[in-house]
Structure 1
Amino acid sequence: MVDRGFALETRLRQREANDLKRTLSPVDSIAERGYFAEPSGGDLPVLESEEALVFASNNYLGLTGDQRVQDAARQAAATVGTGSAASRLVTGDTLVHHDLERLLAETKRTDRALTFSSGYAANVGTITALDPDVIFSDELNHASIIDASRLADADVVVYDHCDADDLRAKLTARAERDESTEPTGADDRSDESWLIVTDSVFSMDGTVAPLEAICRAAEEVGAWVMVDEAHATGLYADGGGIVQSESLEDRVHVQMGTLSKALASQGGYVAGSDALIELLINEARSFVYSTGLAPPAAASASEALHISRYGDVRERLWENVAHLRDGLEALDLEVLGDSQVLPVIIGDRRDALDLAAGLRERGIVAPAIRPPTVPEGASRIRIAPTATHDEADIVNCLEAFQIVGKKVGLF
């Protein structure tokens, strides 16, 4: 009989041979330090005896362990329930959701906001609901944007990373092609809908998109702009993102972000006009057909956003970022980016893996990022400090880089 199944073991062996096989390594708590377990497959994990410093988390403000955030989650669980138990269009809509969405809209300076079960769901639901004819996408956009573009069945035009001039050239070329089409022809494109989509902070490069220039290019051709603020929300002006720090709220049509990074919770959101939010409530399939965000997640995100806006955690984070960047560059390491993400470029895949393993032996958790996640020859260590790392933690990280870097021949 013909075997029409799937050669899973062969595929896994191939990944392992190419140093691409991923594993799960549980940790006892989500914080700036923790006890990890070796990958255990389906067996019960066993925690190591030595605590490690974590410089690989997106818990940028360190609020997952904040008592106020935890208390907000407990209170919501006790008052509203541990889960929404249904789509928000059925019985899963609560006052906790609306309180968070009100605060998000206020922070993002928009009419309204809407929460999703994840950032991935927010991108997929929003882009497919908008149903653009053409999507202009930064070449390093997140996988959820790429997948959403495929599901939307749009023409996708990829422009060079953070290159507003290349974007403008591609917008112009598309417009000129459309103008040359006979208005009465079957291929008339004069009424196409165009959406420009970009991350604001790119998680593997630490780069920041030139949003003002992107908005200018969009306005020249009448395109809409959608910005994914997943790695910026909570870190910039008044707890907002790059859109807020550059005062672009009136020029960015769709602001998307997550609750699962700086806001120490789970889920995603979209902020924009009344009409946008009403459309998503009715046509975003990942919202309509998903159980609503769990009330404790919504409440903890609300509290984290409040702390970000009115506390000093953002200042503490940026102090740690500056200290760590200065120290890494003093070691003559190449550090990319303009944000809280500090990618240390190593180049060779094996060197990056060896450096990450050596750092781990010295109690520093900082992963090697290698192809296909990044281009060939651009393997790196992705460093991300948190607001709750103290000065001694930063010094320990830098000392580990210096010692292990010598061992693997980087210096």
Structure 2
Amino acid sequence: MRGDASLDGPEGSDAGGDLDRGFDPVARLGERETSGLRRDLTPAEAVQPRTRIAEDPGADRVSFEGDERLLFAANDYLGLAGDDRVQRAAAETAREVGTGSGASRLVTGDTTAHRALERDLADAKGTARALVFSSGYATNVGVIDALGPDVVFSDELNHASIVDGCRLAGAETVVYDHCDPAALRARMRERAETEDGATGESWLVLTDSVFSMDGDVAPLESICDVVEAFGAWLMVDEAHATGLYEGGGGIVQREGLADRVHVQMGTLSKALGSQGGYVAGSEPLIEHVLNAARSFVFSTGLAPPAAGAAREALRIAREDDEHRDRLWENVARLREGLADAGYEVWGETQILPVVVDDREDAMALDEQLRKRNVVAPGIRPPTVPEGTSRIRVAPMATHSDSAIDRCLTAFREAGREVGVI
């Protein structure tokens, strides 16, 4: 029995028991609806270039009806999520090791599947060692926090996981102009001339290599020059580049910069068709991260089947040029066809942003493409800057010639319908 009966109810209480301190998700959803930012889940029947898409069923069972749609929205760039060899590797690892790790890697969740994948990743990235996490997002927030820099210099278009990693680390964050080494140098010089900047602070420069919304590539060699001039460290996010270049590497490998980039990060969930993230670097770096990255220490280890699948996908990416060659052929055909149709196409990689400026036009174009059984998402602010709304087109190596032709036809017809070409 309580010692003070007055605490049993709001009457006579100074705790404000008549106040509603809860949450109103209905109102919050209404705000998103009003601002045009509410989104729905749309289940896909399979991770394939062609699949049926269902309307959001909420808590009910998913029901697939209608025609298959061409999927130009996935980051499975090499089409390896549906590759028989990768699927067999996942199944074999599940049988041999288990479907889940069962614990943190630091407890009993460290398996032979993880170690084999990490050795191959380190070899592909040209580093002493690698460490895999449960996701790319967990990798970025965990590694940045583990490094604990005093100051971070971050490209203005870096991925949200980098932004959140800086927040979690509590670092002072200096944002520099997108892909502009001169702007980075100016920001670093300004900091060096301050009282704090002259006292031996730890500085970390952060950049994506391939930017997921613009499809452009960071000038890594010039960024390395700036970083080295100020004695800082450089961390490069290769999420949208890993596996797409010779030897299964990314832009760091393409440019021959592995010995100049202190921290290489990437994902297993895009070109490698699996799940998870990784960090690669020196032996002391990895030993420190596995002890200090909270998203690693306090998470169950990556599921062994995902590790097995990623390892096989990495092997294919390193040894088989066919998938890469086919991807770049599809990219070139789409880029040329979209430009010939009258669209403005940004970037220089496998990510093709078709820029239509106006957010309403972008979402109308998205809808008209879906009516023609092509799924390519409309991207609008705040994900991208005002006036740069776009359709983000992501071809796969497994798209056939006829699929590319159908996609281009749909863009021509939908663009005329909406009035953007």
Report the TM-score when normalising by structure 2. Answer: 0.95
- 5+ residue gaps, structure 2, are 1-17
1:27 positional shift: 0.9
Match of 1:325 in 2: 335
1:206 counterpart (191, 209, 215): 215
- 5+ residue gaps, structure 1, are 182-186
2:77 counterpart (60, 64, 67): 60
Matches of 1:126 and 1:410 in 2, distance apart? Answer: 43
Tell me whether 1:349 sits opposite 2:366 in the alignment: no
Q: Which amino acid aligns with 1:2?
A: L
Match of 1:175 in 2: 192
Tell me whether 1:366 sits opposite 2:383 in the alignment: no
Matches of 2:220 and 2:89 in 1, distance apart? Answer: 34
CA contact (8 A) 2:191 2:197 kept: no
Match of 2:157 in 1: 140
Tell me whether 1:403 sits opposite 2:421 in the alignment: no
Q: Which amino acid aligns with 2:258?
A: E
Match of 2:394 in 1: 384
Instruction: Classify the secondary structure of the residue corresponding to 1:2.
Output: coil
Match of 1:184 in 2: none
Q: Which amino acid aligns with 1:341?
A: I
Matches of 1:190 and 1:285 in 2, distance apart? Answer: 28
Match of 2:348 in 1: 338
1:310 counterpart (290, 301, 319): 319
Q: Which amino acid aligns with 2:35?
A: N
Tell me whether 1:260 sits opposite 2:269 in the alignment: yes
Matches of 1:15 and 1:264 in 2, distance apart? Answer: 32
Deviations 1:27-82 (A, max 9, x none): 11011110110111111121122100000000000001100000000000011100
Q: Which amino acid aligns with 2:26?
A: E
1:236 counterpart (245, 249, 252): 245
Match of 1:77 in 2: 94
Q: Which amino acid aligns with 2:276?
A: G
Match of 1:37 in 2: 54
How do 1:207-226 residues align onto structure 2 when only pairs under 5 Å count?
207-226=216-235
- Taking structure 1 as reference, are residues 189 and 402 closer, same or farther at Cα in structure 2, changes over 3 Å only? same
Match of 1:149 in 2: 166
1:6 positional shift: 1.4
Match of 2:305 in 1: 296
Give the RMSD, CA atoms, in angstroms.
0.8
Match of 2:283 in 1: 274
Match of 1:12 in 2: 29
Identity of aligned residues (%): 62
Deviations 1:151-173 (A, max 9, x none): 11111000011111100110111
1:158 counterpart (165, 175, 190): 175
Instruction: Classify the secondary structure of the residue corresponding to 2:318.
Output: helix
1:332 positional shift: 1.8
Tell me whether 1:26 sits opposite 2:35 in the alignment: no
1:47 counterpart (44, 64, 70): 64
- Taking structure 1 as reference, are residues 273 and 2 closer, same or farther at Cα in structure 2, changes over 3 Å only? same
Matches of 2:44 and 2:411 in 1, distance apart? Answer: 23
Matches of 1:189 and 1:43 in 2, distance apart? Answer: 60
1:196 counterpart (192, 205, 212): 205
Instruction: Classify the secondary structure of the residue corresponding to 1:93.
Output: coil
Q: Which amino acid aligns with 1:243?
A: V
1:237 positional shift: 2.2
Tell me whether 1:285 sits opposite 2:302 in the alignment: no
Matches of 1:164 and 1:224 in 2, distance apart? Answer: 15
Report the TM-score when normalising by structure 1. Answer: 0.97
2:257 counterpart (238, 248, 273): 248
Runs of 4+ residues deviating >3 angstroms: none
Matches of 1:227 and 1:61 in 2, distance apart? Answer: 22
Matches of 1:49 and 1:369 in 2, distance apart? Answer: 25
Paired residues in the alignment total 403
Matches of 1:19 and 1:50 in 2, distance apart? Answer: 28
